[in-house]
Each structure stands twice: as structure tokens, then as C-alpha cells.
Structure 1
Amino acid sequence: MSKTKSPIELYTKEYYAACTLGGIVACGPTHSSVTPLDLIKCRLQVDPTLYRSNTSGIIQILKKEGLGKLFTGVGATCIGYSLQGAGKYGGYELFKRLYSTHLVKDEATAYKYRTSIYLLSSATAEFFADIMLCPFEAIKVKQQTTMPPWCNNVIEGWKKMYAKEGLNGFYKGITPLWCRQIPYTMCKFTSFERIVEAIYARLPTKKSEMSALQQISVSFVGGYMAGILCAIVSHPADVMVSKINNERKVNESMNVALKRIYSRIGFVGLWNGLPVRILMIGTLTSFQWLIYDSFKAYVGLPTSG
């Protein structure tokens, strides 16, 4: 990594703006690229008998619905996860700095309690990021789990949902979304930080002496390992998000809907589509860290970890 002074000073408005932009670049395109896997995963969560495997699901959709239908929900995915990426990555950097300087007395104490700071910072950032994501997640899930699709694009979906349920329709899945995304992001950032830390500790060369490409490679490996853990931790809530957005009745309380759905699918049903999600989330997480750290290196900021 070059030792020249960064053109962006750390912990300034420009720094957080760059991290926020990096989050958009990292999350929007990556989530959009795996829309076919997400489509199959969501449909299997609603009906586990629909496809025998990922491959059979893709083939079946191609034969019956055409190539374009493999990317059902891509518009809502791109918008929603771009907004979420902005809040998640930019917010994480902001809250990590705030908590490490205001909750502890010095750098040594911050380092000692770094895992707690990672967990708290990522949870706070994701809480706010999900508020931006939720309306588009609701449209995406509804579009992906109805056949033929409930709407053809984001604008049509937004109009139909608002006309039928008002603003409440966009946020009826916010609680299970928080239950899915907050543990996921806490696991994603914290495990990434500690895995990357462990990798650097075992390498013969110090991070400060490594090239940007070498550091980004470490981020990619750490990201994939963190992604596998994330997928497992958050999967039950992911199943419930899909079912709540697809099956929750108008004016039905969240608790009643959760109990009704759980009584039908049981504990085993909460794990429908897990192999697909491990593949999807592992790939997503690794490429998100790859893109995010590549962007940071490009603008002259240090890589993560």
C-alpha cells in the first residue's frame, strides 16, 4: 500500500461520503447480479416443492417464463440494496468511530473491546439502513413469489402496493427484516474484521507493507468466510420475511402472522432454501468487500480490517 498521504482525510465528511458511495457501489450491483438465485430461493421458501434444485429451477423458469423472468425483481433489488449499502457501510464507519471515541476512554480500551464495538456499530447502521430498504424489499418479494409476477417493475409495484395497503404495506415486513438483517450484518462485519485480523496476523508481511491488491485479496477471502456464517445466522428470519410479505393478511398483527405461519411450516421449514442462500450470500459478501475495499483503495483510503 502506498504510504503517500491520503487525498481524503480520515473521519471527515468527505471520508464518510466516500464510504457511503463505496457501499452503494458494493451492494447495488452485487445483489442485482444474483437476482436469479434470489428468485429461486424466495420461491422455494414459499413452496419448497416448486423446484428440485437451483439448476432445475433456472431451467424451468427459462422454459416456461423466458430469460427475462430470471431477473424478476431486479429493479427493486438494485434500488433497495443500493440504499441499504449506503446506510450500512457509511453508517458502520460513522458509528464505529463514534462508539470507539465516546464509549471508551482511550485507544487501548477501544482495541480491547473492539468486538463489542464492531457488533454495536453494525447493528446501529443496519437498523437505519433497513428503513430505506424495506419498501423495495416488500415489492421485490411480492413480485418474485407470485406467478405470474404481481407487477412488472418498481413503479408499478409501488403504485399497486400503495393503492391497496397505503404506507403500511411497505413496512409490514420491517420487524422480520430487522430480525434477518441486523444479526446478518453484525455477523458480516464483526466476523469479517476478526477473520481478516487473523489472516494478517499469520502472514509473513505486515499489512502496511502489502500492496493494495494483496490487501484486497485478503478482504475477498475474509468476506467469503464471513458470508457463510452470515447466511446460516440470518436464514430463519429470511424465510419469515419472504412469507410475511407474501402471506400476511391486511390488518393482521405481526405476532399473529408469525404464529400462524410458523405453526404451518414448523422449525424445519425455517431452513428451506439454505444451500441456495449460502451460495448466494457467500458470493455476495466476498464480492461486496472486494468492491468496497477496491473503491476505498482507488480514492486513496486504507482498506478495511
Structure 2
Amino acid sequence: MTSKEMKAHQAAATIPQFTSKDYFSFFLVGALCCTITHGAMTPLDVVKTRIQIDPAYKKLNMLTGTRYVVATEGSRALLTGFGPTAVGYLIQGGAKFAGYEYWKKKAADSVGGPEAAVKYRTAIYLGSASIAEFFADILLTPLEATRIRLVSDRTYATGLVTGFTRLAREGGMRELYAGFVPILCKQIPYAIGQFTVNEFCHEIAFRSMSEETRRTLSSTSKLTIQLGSGVIAGFAAAILSHPADTLLSQINKGHGPKGSMPHRLAVLAREAGFRGLFAGLGPRIVMTAGLVSGQFLLYGAIKEALGAPPGIEIHKKTSAVV
């Protein structure tokens, strides 16, 4: 490391002291990037959910499934559930991204600063993503239950407001949060794949670069690294979370026996088998790769546009802020 690189490293080896305004910025940016990407992916999610829960779609793929929806229900059916998707991931995305920034900083502080945090970075990534996702899912669950009910039952309601009020009226909190445990089983692995894999992909990309090279990266190079890391993180997020995503769709459609949630999940998992649990994985990988890469690209771009502060980087061989 040159003297110039050493000075840059020492100057960056501090943990920023984020303010309430900073965390509000993280929430706002996370909310925007998630609602935009999830809203745009609604047609793919409609087909994916149908493949998971509707026998008529069982042998179809993404393309043939889309054609079947349009042929039998019209193109408008591809936007079923757009309302709860947009609103649900608006609040969930904000809570998740702001929460990840918050808990990552708290964890880095608790282990003694950025230098010590490098040693424990895997645990910090896993813990921060899991805790942030847990609280975000408290906000998401009722809206996700509404979305799945709308997609799985075409006659259930006309949209977000009517679907949510009917579900709340007929089932109360119990039905609104019936999918909370499977959502946690789905979203926590998803967040782990999204954030942890993205962090390590960036670390691998930056590890061979000098500080000077990294500071002078072209916009195209930065975009390539962000996009590649996001796509790989999306693959990981999809694979890790897909079995629980399948079970969540079944639970919210009302399938499975009565009893405790762990019992219901266990019975549904046995009935589905390994192959059934991964039904619709292909479309979901495509969807999730687009979601995650799009979210990280938008997150960085909107943060920069709003003048929001950078997050904390605790990659190996560096403790810089990005």
C-alpha cells in the first residue's frame, strides 16, 4: 500500500455518525427502490404465484404461463395485486434498507470499530439483514396476504382496499398474520442472500484494486460491478427463499391442515415434496435477479441524487465508506 493509499485508508477507517435525518433518507430511498422494482415485476409475480398454487398452471413455464393468463383472463389480469405489492414493498423496503444500515452500524460499533468489524463481517451481514427483515415483515405481512388472496382467487375483491378490508373483516388479525412465520422463513433467507452475497461480490471485485484505481473507476465500471453483484445476489436470494415462498402461497390460499403454523408448514412441505417446493423457481430467479439488481442500482443512484450519506463498508482489506 502506497503512502497515499495509507492516508486514504486511515481517513476512512471511522464509523460515520448517522443522524435521524440520515436514517429517514435511507428509509425513503429504500422505499422508492423497492416499490418501483416490485411494482414493475407484478406480471411475473402473478404468473409465478399461479404456477405455485393453481393446478392448471403446474406444467407451464414463465412464457406459456403468461400467455395462458392473457388468453383466459385478459392482459389486465397480469396486474392483479399491484396495489398491495406497491404499498407493501414501499413500507417494507424502507424499513429493510434503513434497518440494514442501522443494525450494521450498531454491530460495527459493538465489536470495537471498523477494523474489528472486518473480522466479524459475515456475522454482521447475516445478523443485520435478519433483524432488519424481521421488523420490515411485520409491516409487509398483511399486505402480502392480501396480494396472494387477490392473485389466487380472481373473485375475492376488486383491489387493495376492498381485498384488505374483506380479509380483515372476515379473518381479523389471525388471517392477516397467518403467513407471518412463513414470510419470515421466506424473507429472512431472501434478505441474507440479497445483502450478504452483494457485500461479498463487491469485496471480491474491489479486493484486487488499489485505492487509487477504485477512486477513479469509470461510471461504466461501477455500473458493471453493481449490476453483476446484484444479479448474483438475486440468484442466491431466490434459491434460499423459494421453498418458503411456495408454502406462503399455499397458506394464504387457505391450504393445509388446522393447527399450529409449524405443523401446517410441515404437512404442506411433505405433501409438496422437494420438487413441489421448488415449483416456479425458474420464473422467480428471473424475477428476483431483476428485483435485487434493480434495487441496488436505484438505491445507489437515488441516494446520490438526494445527497444521502454513504453506508458503512467493512470489506476485508479495507474499512472505507461507500
**TM-score under structure 1 length normalisation:** 0.91
Q: Which residue of 2 aligns with 1:6?
A: none
Q: Is the 8 A contact 2:242 2:277 kept in 1?
A: yes
Counterpart selection for 2:76 from 63, 68, 71: 68
1:172 aligns with 2:184: no
**Alpha-carbon distance in structure 2 between the residues aligned to 1:54 and 1:249:** 26
Q: Which residue of 2 aligns with 1:80?
A: 88
Range that drifts further, 205-214 or 119-128: 205-214
Q: Which residue of 1 aligns with 2:131?
A: 124
Question: Post-superposition shift, 1:285?
Answer: 0.4
1:53 aligns with 2:61: yes
Amino acid of the residue matched to residue 177 of structure 1? I
Q: Is the 8 A contact 1:22 1:295 kept in 2?
A: yes
Identity of aligned residues (%): 34
Q: Is the 8 A contact 2:42 2:80 kept in 1?
A: yes
Question: Post-superposition shift, 1:162?
Answer: 1.3
Range that drifts further, 255-264 or 172-181: 255-264
Q: Does the C-alpha gap of structure 1 residues 95 and 200 become closer, same or farther in structure 2, counting only changes over 3 Å?
A: same
Q: Which residue of 1 aligns with 2:13?
A: none
**Alpha-carbon distance in structure 2 between the residues aligned to 1:216 and 1:297:** 14
Q: Which residue of 1 aligns with 2:251?
A: 244
Q: Is the 8 A contact 1:139 1:158 kept in 2?
A: yes
Q: Which residue of 2 aligns with 1:206?
A: 213
**Alpha-carbon distance in structure 2 between the residues aligned to 1:24 and 1:33:** 14
Amino acid of the residue matched to residue 88 of structure 1? K
**Alpha-carbon distance in structure 2 between the residues aligned to 1:61 and 1:106:** 53
Correspondences of 1:192-231 after superposition (within 5 Å): 192-203=198-209, 206-210=213-217, 214-231=221-238
Amino acid of the residue matched to residue 129 of structure 1? A
1:26 aligns with 2:33: yes
Q: Which residue of 2 aligns with 1:291?
A: 298
Q: Which residue of 2 aligns with 1:11?
A: 18
Give unmatched runs, 5+ long, in structure 2: 1-7, 9-15, 314-321
Q: Is the 8 A contact 1:219 1:293 kept in 2?
A: no
Q: Is the 8 A contact 1:23 1:89 kept in 2?
A: yes
Amino acid of the residue matched to residue 172 of structure 2? G
Amino acid of the residue matched to residue 146 of structure 2? I
**TM-score under structure 2 length normalisation:** 0.86
**Alpha-carbon distance in structure 2 between the residues aligned to 1:267 and 1:294:** 39
1:154 aligns with 2:165: no
Spell out, residue by residue over 1:105-137, the C-alpha distance to the aligned partner (whole angstroms, 9 max, x if none).
232111111121111111100000000000000
Question: Post-superposition shift, 1:197?
Answer: 1.4
Question: Post-superposition shift, 1:181?
Answer: 0.4
Q: Which SS does the other structure have where 2:68 is aligned?
A: helix
Q: Is the 8 A contact 1:212 1:297 kept in 2?
A: no
Give unmatched runs, 5+ long, in structure 1: 4-8
Q: Which SS does the other structure have where 2:253 is aligned?
A: helix
Correspondences of 1:39-50 after superposition (within 5 Å): 39-47=46-54, 49-50=56-57
1:269 aligns with 2:290: no
**Alpha-carbon distance in structure 2 between the residues aligned to 1:283 and 1:259:** 31
Spell out, residue by residue over 1:124-183, the C-alpha distance to the aligned partner (whole angstroms, 9 max, x if none).
00000000000000000111112x242111110111111211111110000000011011
